[in-house]
Amino acid sequence: MNRSATIAGLGTALPPSAVQDELWEGYFAERYHGGRRGLAQRIFANSGVRTRQAAVSPLLEDVSDWSTERRMRRYQVEAVPLGKEAVGRALTDAGVGAEELGLFAVCSCTGYATPGLDILLARDTGMSPHVQRLFVGHMGCYAALPGLGSVADFVVARGRPALLLCAELTSLHLQPAETRADMQQIVSHALFSDAAAAVVLTPGDGRSGYAVTEVAAVTDATTADHMTWDVTDLGFRMGLSARVPQVLSLHVRGLVDDVLARRGLTVGDVPGWAVHPGGPKILDVVQDRLELSDADLAASRDVLATYGNCSSPTVLLVLDALRRRAEPPPRVLMLAFGPGLTLYVALLERHKVT
């Protein structure tokens, strides 16, 4: 029986890009007044973001007063073609036909409808009517890793290819003016972005790619109120405590050490780091606690600068940057964080076809 699942292909899709300074000057600067304006401007300037994507750009269309129903209808309009593009690229990269897939899993926390992306994209991309489907909702920024673990388990158990899609449209959840005095909303509006990323996993049949060898998590439920994503009448509203980096600092080293120890490894044995760039302070804490170099987190910081925090697809964008290097790292440790507070880890080992 096959005992491994390999990431054989990865595809991404991005909506139109916007410059962070232009978003500030063209939209957000007018929403803050007095001392809050200076604070907001500093948060935007220090976010680590230079450009990011928006399927619904506030420079063109202000959705801040839209009802949740209206936002969800727009989600389907924008997310279906974006997801289809990412899925198509991942299948092409893997050399796998859509009809070969045994499982199609979708992660998203920014939109809901039935029939959803799992049904519509399975139809539109030519997947078998017998393909199994899984939807992972409202897990937030770390959802790619439990999604990856579930898809990998299917591949190992069934011996068939599977596909994971992470698609997020955070731009649809711009909040109305009266909430923008809240610093948590300022941080959210300065960081978040839109993207889709898909990965195809195949049985360990000699294909080149990264084998998923370990997936693990830890949740500190005593800090459940530190990161929230509430459904309101005016879209979904982010709650983001300034204490999140402190909580991550308490748990990240122990979780990483435990996962690596299962394979007889230490932090020094990992040449590739795909860390979810939730923000500059998040990356600073991970770098400090794991004693990583600037080079170790260069891919994560570059993704934050170029694409922003796209929620669940972001860690896959970092992985894509690592695998596209002239010399891809032979081992990658993926880290992502989200509500719970939850930390997720996945360990990947690269193998080549000789």
Count the residues in the chain: 354
DSSP H helices, 192-312, are 244-261, 280-290, 298-307
Residue type, 167: A
Long-range contacts of 223-229 (CB under 8 A, 24+ apart): 223/247, 223/340, 223/341, 224/339, 224/340, 224/341, 226/341, 227/140, 227/338, 227/339, 227/340, 227/341, 228/339, 229/109, 229/138, 229/140, 229/339
List the catalytic residues. Answer: 141
DSSP H helices, the chain, are 20-26, 35-45, 68-94, 117-124, 144-158, 183-191, 244-261, 280-290, 298-307, 314-323
Collect all residues with Cβ–Cβ distance below 8 Å to 84 and sequence separation of at least 6. 121, 124, 125
- Looking only at the bridges linking them, the beta strands covering 227-232 and 209-219 are unpaired
